[in-house]
Chain A
Amino acid sequence: MTHLALMTQHLDQIFVLTSHWLLSYLPIALQPLCSAILSVAAIIIAFATLFALTTLLERKGLGRMQNRYGPNRVGPCGLFQPLADGVKSLTKEDIVPIRADRAVHFMAPVLLVAASFMGYAVLPIGRNMVMVDMNAGVLFFFAIGSLMELAVFMAGWSSRSKYSLLGAMRAIAQMISYEVPLVLASVVVLMQAGSLSTVAIVNMQATYSGIWPHWFVFTPWGFAGFALFMIAATAESNRSPFDLPEGESEIIAGYYTEYSGFKFALFFLGEYIGMFATSGMAITLFLGGWSAPFSFLTWIPSYFWFFAKLLTIISVFIWIRGTLPRLRMDQLMNLAWQFMLPMTLLNLLTTGIWHFMLPGFLRWIVCSTMVIVPCILLGSGLKYKKKFQIRTYHFSQ
């Protein structure tokens, strides 16, 4: 029994142990630097592979939702399609507009990818598998996340094209608007956990009463917070139905209209990596990070659970993309400021009440009511306020 327990423990820590074993061959002075390089390389390889897998998964999933096959030509079941896409984007001509600011034009996609990868520094991927256990990890994550907006604006500005600039403006407006509910939705967890450290937040959730875990999503305020966080994360990563900065079918690519070849692919990579990072943060904050969903499943390695949860969230993202039509700009802003913001603020209050009420049935009822009733009232109120009328188009008649 103890032998089995030791084995599962070793399997759980296999990457940590391997890293320690590799580093033990180096002189002490070099070890911190090499440890960092090793972790960075591992994160980049793992998540770039996940990116490649996701592009394929997304195309196949969307295809199936539209009763198509999706890519099935390159390799068995189209498995090498990401490779073919990569080769294609590498061999394409890299066009830079003649009047563009070349330096900024080049730096924008690089910054985007770098910023989106930096968030992973504080994400606990498994037990003891976090690159930096910062005591202000969540704060660091959102600070780095806002660098992506800068990259987007650099792309739009440096292209010196009115379409790129307008696209960047719209993207910035959207990203900043949704940054507010994104951060406010995650504040409830910080209130409850009393810590900004991602590792501490996950450790708090990785305990069980009976077989049930103490994930924050299994509380009224946690569930509301998770839902709001995911909506804001969708908008933040410019994904459908909030993908109007890119709007593939209407405006060609928004702020990266003037990008081609591998730089375009870098934007693509950056967006997906950013999406994974935000999803990873949602998992850390609400879904118990690397902890197993039931106490009897803890023998499965912790990193498996993290990636299983991540893939589930990605699948839901794809499902949503296959279902919902794109929002209009005014609908997007109304949703952010009229619905998301009041709901997140109210959720803060709910969390406070939950914290100060005694554990028991009553606080469940009170807090659930505080989440559900305003949601319905606000939703139907906004719907009621909307006037439906026959539109007249003056110039087309």
Chain B
Amino acid sequence: MVGEGILKGLAETARNFFGSYVSKDRLTTVQYPEQREPQIEATRDFPFLVYDGADWQQGMRCVACQICEKECPPKCIFIEKSKDKKPDAFGKMQIYPATFNIDISVCMSCQICVEVCPFDAIKMDVEYHQSSDDRFGALLLNKQRLSKSNEYYNAIHPTEASAVDAQRAEELAKLEAKAKAAAEVKAAAEAKAAADANPALNASPQQPAGDPQ
């Protein structure tokens, strides 16, 4: 029949038109500023620096090794080493970044900095509301703006963060065990040294004691 297809098409669009007023699940558009889609866990945009504990300066994991700065393909990272040292999470004295800048107008979100970091100090963020009327200043993130807590990292990437935390806990436990073992060895060595030294000390008084025998 001539025109049958047209009528079918008209019925289809009419059904869509009225259906969109009746059933809300037809309208899949997310009304953006008011509604937000939940982000998937693998979302990433720009890097941030992780710190442990409450104080961002004290807990900063970064030790200014500059691997990320060297690896960064668009060269958007700038690091200046500190002159002094501070203890890191494992209690070791490390230098820390005096300046750590990332120009996110240059950053291409490749995640290479994250992959090369041996200290789990730099991770990818999910915050995408970065628009600003200040073209240069607002897009050049300094150390303070980059620093975000480990709790935040756990909140945005739970699986990845818990794996990192477990690894770090294991390392810490290993270090502690090592330190304990070292302490024990040291203690034993001390004891032995003491024992070695003591017989000489003790023997001589004993020998004279035995002498009379």
Residues from chain B with Cβ under 8 Å of A324 in the complex: 6, 9
CB-contact partner of A323 in B3, B6, B20, B21, under 8 A: B6
A379 at interface, CB cutoff 8 A: yes
Binding site secondary structure of chain A = helix
Residues from chain A with Cβ under 8 Å of B20 in the complex: 64, 67-68
B28 A67 Cβ-Cβ under 8 A:
yes
B21 A64 Cβ-Cβ under 8 A:
yes
Residue of A nearest to B9 (CB): A323
Minimum CB–CB distance from A259 to chain B (whole Å) comes to 31
The CA of A68 and the CA of B30, in the complex, are separated in Å by 10
The CA of A379 and the CA of B6, in the complex, are separated in Å by 13
Residue of A nearest to B21 (CB): A64
Residues from chain B with Cβ under 8 Å of A49 in the complex: none
Interface residues of A in 99-153 (CB under 8 A from B): none
Residues from chain A with Cβ under 8 Å of B21 in the complex: 64
B2 A69 Cβ-Cβ under 8 A:
no
CB-contact partner of B16 in A65, A320, A376, under 8 A: A65
The CA of A64 and the CA of B19, in the complex, are separated in Å by 9
The CA of A319 and the CA of B12, in the complex, are separated in Å by 11
Residues from chain A with Cβ under 8 Å of B10 in the complex: 319-320, 323
A66 at interface, CB cutoff 8 A: yes
Residue of B nearest to A322 (CB): B13
Residues from chain A with Cβ under 8 Å of B26 in the complex: 67
Question: Given A323-B6, A375-B2, A376-B2, is A67 in contact with B14 using a C-beta cutoff of 8 Å?
Answer: no
A65 B29 Cβ-Cβ under 8 A:
no
A64 B16 Cβ-Cβ under 8 A:
yes
A383 at interface, CB cutoff 8 A: yes
A380 at interface, CB cutoff 8 A: yes
B42 at interface, CB cutoff 8 A: no
Minimum CB–CB distance from A310 to chain B (whole Å) comes to 20
Residues from chain A with Cβ under 8 Å of B6 in the complex: 323-324
Minimum CB–CB distance from B35 to chain A (whole Å) comes to 12
A61 at interface, CB cutoff 8 A: yes
The CA of A379 and the CA of B3, in the complex, are separated in Å by 9
Interface residues of A in 62-87 (CB under 8 A from B): 64-69
Minimum CB–CB distance from A24 to chain B (whole Å) comes to 49
B14 A68 Cβ-Cβ under 8 A:
no
Residue of B nearest to A376 (CB): B2
Where the two chains meet, the residues of A that have a C-beta atom closer than 8 Å to any C-beta of B are 61, 64-69, 319-320, 322-324, 375-376, 379-380, 383
Would you mind naming 29 contact pairs between A and B with Cβ atoms under 8 Å apart?
A: A61-B17, A64-B16, A64-B17, A64-B20, A64-B21, A65-B13, A65-B16, A65-B17, A66-B16, A67-B19, A67-B20, A67-B26, A68-B27, A68-B29, A69-B31, A319-B10, A319-B13, A319-B14, A322-B13, A322-B17, A323-B6, A323-B10, A323-B12, A323-B13, A375-B2, A376-B2, A379-B3, A380-B2, A383-B2
Query: Apart from A64-B17, A64-B21, A67-B26, what are 17 other A-B pairs with CB-CB below 8 Å?
Result: A64-B20, A65-B13, A66-B16, A67-B19, A67-B20, A67-B28, A68-B27, A68-B29, A69-B29, A319-B17, A320-B10, A323-B9, A323-B12, A323-B13, A324-B6, A375-B2, A376-B2
